[in-house]
Structure 1
Amino acid sequence: MNHALRRAMANAKMTEAHLADVCGVDAKTVGRWISEPSRIPHARHRWAASEALGEEESALWPNAVRSALTTGPDREIVQVFPYRSAAPASLWKSLVTKAQHELVFAGYTNYFLWLEQANLASALRRKAQGGCRVRFLIGDPDSEVTAAREVEAGVPLTLSTRIAVTLSELEKLRDAPRIEGRFETGHVNLSVFRFDDEMIVTPILARRVGHDSPMMHLRRRQPDGMFDRFAAHVEELWSRGRGIWSPDAQA
């Protein structure tokens, strides 16, 4: 929901039909501007709506303004959130749904995914059966790194407990093709989730758990940009990882 546009219309006592007349579109189009925040109106429609509502264009459609002004690596930043918990669950579902080739879940526990995404295991199974590679990079629950982080975080639901939940869920997918998991500890302070050419990155702050940490949504725009650098980081950790039940774990 584009809450800023909705509030501006309410403050101006302007209906969808009225704003549509001002902008030269139909009322259904205005309804989609409100209900689909990723939908960006044409520039002439944004300007007309901003003038009619007495609001800055940047307040109603900040992504459109940022896209027009940023160049180079900055364009890879789609959106930022001060807390991961502030991002809508629908964003994660959309990214998983759209991915066709590559899904990487390099969160230290990946625990929140199973809580917030309904039927995630079924979705991952379908993706894998359709040819998508699915990988989980998980913190080693028995490592010194995990133990030290548990002491620092000081929360009742420990990292090793959350990792155990993910391992239990992954065990149900053991027979699925193209789904792999490895243990590593190099990402204890940085979670990276890849969905083809889109990515979620969460730097974990001191004495904070994942949902309290800032989050960036990236989209690949160029070689060796931010996206590629985070992707290379994950590939390095994956190459060092210890297999859970991927083929190398059976050796």
Structure 2
Amino acid sequence: MEGAGLSPRQLAHRVGVSVKQVERWLGDADLTPHARNRADACRALGVDEEMLWPKAVQERVKTGGDRELVHSYPYRSACPSTVWTELVETAESELFFAGYTNYFFWTQVPHFAATVRRKAEAGCRVRFLLGDPDGEVTRQRETIEDVALSVSTRIGITLEHLERLGPLEGLEARFSAPLDAINHVSLSVFRFDHDALVTPHLARLVGHDSPLLHLRRYGDGGMFERFAEHAEELWERGEPVPASSGSA
């Protein structure tokens, strides 16, 4: 940036992102911006992509199913919050939150409610697939986890936020069907256009203690599509959230 005579604000203007996003790039060496932003930044700075984001270049030479794996984390909590924030912010057509509770988005992603509203109003499809707070699988999971912030309470947090957003075109919410609940609670799929963050829940562990995979779609029949199809199947059989429960 110094060599190109650009400040963070000037670079942000050239790339078409916020100053905060440029500051995240500077502050987090493990954060890899989307390909379009990388290309625009390199063009503005007059350097090769390998100089700024060598990991992105290395990922492109992967073959087979491995190339869709952007990163893996032994714990969901080990995934930097900037990754979640950037994926939510940059999605343009598809945001699908198919975690069983989805509650942590409201507390850990800055301005999440306002972003959901903005995305939906801009034509992005925003969906929340939740577990039924009164369902049998929810009660069983609460017994297994045995934590103060229960599963039904965490679902309730999401429902309250959705209710505050009110009826909003482009925003949908469903409960997974009773027969699908066990499959839903054991695997969370969060989709952001062609990126996905996937968490298989281990035994009695809560979500943030389970591993996480960051996937990026490269073609038909890959890992991304396998998990996306799983979430879509649950969604198709899901049941609309009753208005009294905070339906959007």
Instruction: State if a TM-score over 0.5 links the two structures.
Output: yes
1:212 alignment partner in structure 2:
209
Q: Is the 8 A contact 1:73 1:221 kept in 2?
A: no
- Answer with 1 or 2: which has the greater Rg: 1
After superposition, the C-alpha distances for 1:106-135 in whole angstroms (9 at most, x for unaligned) are 010011111101221111111000001100
Instruction: Classify 1:63/1:80 alpha carbon distance in 2 versus 1 (closer, same or farther; 3 Å).
Output: farther
Q: Is the 8 A contact 2:93 2:125 kept in 1?
A: yes
Instruction: Classify 1:222/1:172 alpha carbon distance in 2 versus 1 (closer, same or farther; 3 Å).
Output: same
Deviation at 1:65, TM superposition (A): 3.6
Q: Is the 8 A contact 1:79 1:218 kept in 2?
A: yes
Q: List aligned pairs for 1:45-56, cutoff 5 A.
A: none
Q: 2:188 aligns with which of 187, 191, 206?
A: 191
Deviation at 1:239, TM superposition (A): 0.9
Q: 1:182 aligns with which of 168, 174, 183?
A: 174
Q: 1:109 aligns with which of 89, 101, 120?
A: 101
Deviation at 1:90, TM superposition (A): 1.1
Deviation at 1:44, TM superposition (A): 7.8
Deviation at 1:26, TM superposition (A): 7.3
- Matched position secondary structure for 2:202: coil
Instruction: Classify 1:222/1:148 alpha carbon distance in 2 versus 1 (closer, same or farther; 3 Å).
Output: same
2: CA distance between counterparts of 1:163 and 1:43? 42
Q: Is the 8 A contact 1:105 1:194 kept in 2?
A: yes
1:167 alignment partner in structure 2:
159
Q: 2:66 aligns with which of 69, 74, 86?
A: 74
How high is the sequence identity, in percent, across the aligned residues? 48
- Matched position secondary structure for 1:187: helix
CA RMSD of superposed structures (Å): 2.9
Deviation at 1:63, TM superposition (A): 5.2
Deviation at 1:75, TM superposition (A): 0.7
2:44 alignment partner in structure 1:
none
Q: Is the 8 A contact 2:95 2:125 kept in 1?
A: yes
Instruction: Classify 1:34/1:111 alpha carbon distance in 2 versus 1 (closer, same or farther; 3 Å).
Output: closer
Q: Is the 8 A contact 2:201 2:210 kept in 1?
A: yes
Instruction: Classify 1:73/1:140 alpha carbon distance in 2 versus 1 (closer, same or farther; 3 Å).
Output: same
Deviation at 1:160, TM superposition (A): 0.3
1: CA distance between counterparts of 2:50 and 2:171? 47
Partner AA of 2:154 in structure 1: R
Q: Is the 8 A contact 2:50 2:57 kept in 1?
A: no
Partner AA of 2:104 in structure 1: F
Q: 1:237 aligns with which of 234, 237, 245?
A: 234
Q: Is the 8 A contact 1:174 1:245 kept in 2?
A: no
1: CA distance between counterparts of 2:193 and 2:51? 32
2:222 alignment partner in structure 1:
225
Q: List aligned pairs for 1:37-48, cutoff 5 A.
A: 37=29, 38=32, 42=48
Unpaired segments of 5 or more residues in structure 2? 7-22, 39-46
After superposition, the C-alpha distances for 1:162-182 in whole angstroms (9 at most, x for unaligned) are 111110001112221110100
Deviation at 1:88, TM superposition (A): 1.2
Instruction: Classify 1:190/1:175 alpha carbon distance in 2 versus 1 (closer, same or farther; 3 Å).
Output: same
2: CA distance between counterparts of 1:226 and 1:152? 29
Residue 155 in structure 1 maps to residue 155 in structure 2: no
Partner AA of 1:190 in structure 2: L
1: CA distance between counterparts of 2:168 and 2:98? 19
Between Structure 1 and Structure 2, how many residues are aligned?
A: 211
